[in-house]
Structure 1
Amino acid sequence: MSVILCLCSLSSSPHCLARPWSWYHSSVSRQQAEAQLQRCREASFLVRDSESGTSKYSIALKTSHSCVHIIVAQTKTSKGLGFTLDQSSCVFSSIPELVHHYCIHRLPFNGAEHMTLQHPLPRQQ
Structure 2
Amino acid sequence: MDDSKQILIVDDDPTQCEILAQLVGELGYQAYSSTDGDMALQVFKERNFDLVITDIKMPHMDGLTLLQKIRKLNNAVRVIVLTGYPSSETILKTIENDGYTYLVKPVKLQAMAALIEKAFSDPVDGE
Tell me the TM-score normalised to structure 1 length: 0.37
Structure with more contact order per residue of length (Cα contacts < 8 Å, sep ≥ 6): 1
Higher strand proportion:
1
Tell me the TM-score normalised to structure 2 length: 0.37
